[in-house]
Amino acid sequence: MTAARLVRLPLPGTATPQQALRALAAEPWPFALVGAWAGGGAIVGCRPLRVAAPEEDPFALFDQLPRVSAGDAHDADETTGGAVGGGWFGWLGYGLGARIESLPPSPPRPAPLPPFQLAYYDHLLRQDTAGQWWFEALATAAREAELEERLADLRARLAAAPSLPVGRFEAPRALRLTGAGAAGHVAAVAECRERIAAGEVFQANVCLRLEASWTGDVTELFARASERLAPRYGAAFPTPDGGVASCSPELFLRRRGGELTVTAAPIKGTAPRGSDAAAAGEAELLASGKDRAENVMIVDLMRNDLGRVSVYGSIAAEPPVAEAHPGVWHLVSQVRGRLRDDASDGDLLRATFPPGSVTGAPKVEAMRLIAELEGTGREAYTGAIGYASPLAGLELNVAIRTFEASAGRLWLGVGGGIVAESDPARELEECLVKARPLAAAVGSRIEGERAGRPAVPPIPRALSRDRGRPDPARGLFETLLVRDGVALRAAEHLARLAASVAACWGEALPGDLAERVAAAAAAPGAPPAAPLRVVVRPHAGGLVTTVELGPPRQRRLPVELVPFVLPGGLGSHKWLDRTLLDQLAAQAGGGATPLLIDADGTVLEAAWGNVFLLDGDRLLTPPADGRLLPGVSRAAVLRAAGATGLTASEGPVAFGQLARADGILLSSALAGLAPAVLRGGEGDARAAFDTARALSLVPETVVRA
């Protein structure tokens, strides 16, 4: 452990925290914490000494802090009392829970963020509760000169911050519920209630996601939102590709300085807060048996989590109180424990992460259920954001009310605790009540709020305790059709695979892969038509890519489809792990193909192909919105349809539409455009056969009737 001395010097200036953050926005890795952090005020910084690498253990990093002496503090009575000095700052994503517990793979992640973002800052700007700004640093001998330069630079930037022009801000378009939308959330809550009745869990926190296309500045987004909402635990961590802007009201963990007492303040229990009936909302919440039940369960969970690393008998909880926050009242409880002498901050995090208020009870079973019911994987949302400082201690919020941005998208997760008494429609409205003030604060609004109950007939669920989603760690693959020595549409297939590899691992395909594919397709003795499989597996910090020509395949037509409900689908990548699909095919039996349906009853895709509905001279296929694989053959059908007098388009397809359609077709590289029927359906496949032949997309050497 290195040694450092505290440098703490007052700085002139009247900048607000938001103005200070704007002044540092162009610097490397800027951040801001505003609200109750470290006793109140703000912490703003940039130019970290080190950014954690993806392969590091984020929990262990919180224990890698220097020993600090008083040094050059301005006031001997305040040598460390109000100082932060520096430390590790950033976020821990919800997905890190899988590094602590054995959990099933998460739902699809349309725009993945890093699992965590942490950086070590040895200097920062600190505003105390009186509005005074300070330059604080954890100085080492090797950094003396650089810190002198940083002091001069930050003094000038802070002085100029109030007069800097506010950058142009483009408000995000309307935030829309993603995937299965409002109806899907209602269905997820109803399913959660069934699981509670069956005794799987007592409570689970079920969330939905609101999203918009957006390429704006996270710094300015946070500045505007935090100025309007005054969050208790606001945090901004812009990154080169986006970042997070949190307006969280909730404290996850706080350990002051060298103290051993740890405080958690879980929020569980919500009521709307209107300006004309605020007191009534507070009284209603305090009297609500359902909300108190939610609160008691999570308080008990937090007592248990803290108890893993606390002195026996030191855990105590206070009765809940109602707190006012933008648009809502919340029940908040204080839970405290005294850490054992041998328990570090890293141990504390491993014992308590992710926060119990956004998982459920029992925690691990609730997290398994979340992976089954939610249609989109969580990123930073419902993880934690904050810092570990050798002076100020450990302090993390619960990453709720948090905007996240990446890959041209902006999204906001909202959710609520589901118990036996929960009403699905009311739970949806509670989510929207929480989201509306945030959307309004950044000049946006919410669309697609209304939802009736999904009109879905009894359909088996794809996921269960013993049947999980594909494991991304197994790898990706692509299947091409080889005909007469040529791999058809090879460039399109490899482009799709390259995009998936970049999205999943930030890597590129081998430069000679196209040549390897062409050589395998033209290998002597190859059959006239056969599948060629390209497989990419992560291995020892790199990727292993294989190319293999397989035997010819045959498929009976029409394909028989058996539906299964899979919230959020399989996502836009072609996973090598086909265990779930094989299990579903075995359950369907008779050579049938699983058909995947989202929680709201909308059609996604079949196990090996995209779905097209034929209605007169119109072909309709579900949109490639991140829930399904955007097939190369699917794109070919959309292009070719016009030449045969058909109109082809993308749009939602309800499961009920399939039974009434003139035909159903599946598209894939190997099957071309294959006619299909629903098991037990009354329709026939003649029109679908005619359409497939008209489009010349049935390779008869591979597929037979």
CATH number at residue 629: 3.20.10.10
Residue 702 lies in a domain: no
Identify the domain containing residue 648 by its residue range: 559-694
Examine the domain organization and report whether 391 and 510 are in the same domain: no
Q: Which long-range contacts (CB under 8 A, 24 or more apart) does 485-491 make?
A: 485/521, 485/522, 485/526, 486/521, 486/522, 487/517, 487/518, 487/520, 487/521, 487/532, 488/669, 489/632, 489/633, 489/636, 489/669, 490/514, 490/517, 490/518, 490/521
Given a cut of 80, whether residue 211 has pLDDT beyond it is: yes
User: What pLDDT does residue 559 have?
Assistant: 94
Confidence band of 278 (pLDDT split at 50, 70, 90): low
Specify the 3-state DSSP secondary structure of 454.
coil
Given a cut of 70, whether residue 456 has pLDDT beyond it is: no
List pLDDT tens digits, range 295-329: 999 999 999 999 999 999 999 999 999 998 888 88
Examine the domain organization and report whether 291 and 429 are in the same domain: yes
Give the span between the Cα atoms of 3 and 652, in whole angstroms: 61
CATH number at residue 495: 3.30.470.10
List pLDDT tens digits, range 156-173: 999 999 999 887 899 999
Strand 393-398 vs strand 116-121: parallel, antiparallel, or unpaired? unpaired
Examine the domain organization and report whether 291 and 226 are in the same domain: yes
Given a cut of 80, whether residue 541 has pLDDT beyond it is: no
Give the list of residues 6+ apart from residue 220 with CB closer than 8 angstroms, or none: 22, 25, 166, 167, 169
Phi-psi region of 615 (alpha: psi -120 to 50; beta: other; left: phi over 0): beta
- Tokens linked to 402: 């948090």
- pTM here is 0.93
Residue 460 lies in a domain: no
Examine the domain organization and report whether 542 and 563 are in the same domain: no
- Domain end (from 446, 461, 486): 446
Examine the domain organization and report whether 148 and 296 are in the same domain: yes
CA distances from 694 to 613, 648, 664, 705 (A): 16, 14, 15, 16
- Tokens linked to 529: 């038509």
Examine the domain organization and report whether 412 and 479 are in the same domain: no
CATH number at residue 174: 3.60.120.10
Residue 464 lies in a domain: no
Give the span between the Cα atoms of 144 and 123, in whole angstroms: 11
Residue 451 lies in a domain: no
Residue 701 lies in a domain: no
User: What pLDDT does residue 72 have?
Assistant: 57
- Domain end (from 549, 568, 596): 549
Q: What is the mean pLDDT of the chain?
A: 92
> Domains in the chain: how many in total?
3
Give the span between the Cα atoms of 28 and 510, in whole angstroms: 31
Examine the domain organization and report whether 248 and 357 are in the same domain: yes
Give the span between the Cα atoms of 123 and 150, in whole angstroms: 8
Specify the 3-state DSSP secondary structure of 520.
helix
Residue 466 lies in a domain: no
Residue 605: active-site member: no
List pLDDT tens digits, range 334-350: 999 999 999 999 999 99
Peptide bond into 558 cis (omega under 30): yes
Examine the domain organization and report whether 258 and 178 are in the same domain: yes
Q: Is residue 117 a contact partner of residue 379, using CB atoms and an 8 Å limit?
A: no
Q: Which of 142, 265, 224, 549 is nearest to 403 (CA)?
A: 224
Q: Which of 136, 211, 220, 250 is catalytic?
A: 250
Residue 554 lies in a domain: no
State the DSSP H helix or E strand holding residue 563, giving kind and residue range, or none if neither.
strand 559-565
- Domain end (from 549, 580, 596): 549
User: What pLDDT does residue 454 have?
Assistant: 52
Examine the domain organization and report whether 387 and 519 are in the same domain: no
Strand 446-447 vs strand 261-265: parallel, antiparallel, or unpaired? unpaired
- Tokens linked to 299: 């308080």
Given a cut of 90, whether residue 684 has pLDDT beyond it is: no
Examine the domain organization and report whether 208 and 329 are in the same domain: yes
Give the list of residues 6+ apart from residue 371 with CB closer than 8 angstroms, or none: 103, 104, 105, 106, 107, 463, 468, 469
Q: Which of 136, 191, 211, 268 is catalytic?
A: 268
Given a cut of 90, whether residue 595 has pLDDT beyond it is: yes
Examine the domain organization and report whether 535 and 587 are in the same domain: no
Given a cut of 90, whether residue 81 has pLDDT beyond it is: no
- Tokens linked to 103: 């959990």
Give start and end residues of each alpha helix (H) in 321-419: 345-352, 363-373
Strand partners, 414: 208
Examine the domain organization and report whether 192 and 340 are in the same domain: yes
Residue 574: active-site member: no
Q: What is the mean pLDDT of residues 270-284?
A: 72
Residue 300 lies in a domain: yes
Confidence band of 74 (pLDDT split at 50, 70, 90): very low
Given a cut of 50, whether residue 112 has pLDDT beyond it is: yes
Give the span between the Cα atoms of 366 and 207, in whole angstroms: 12
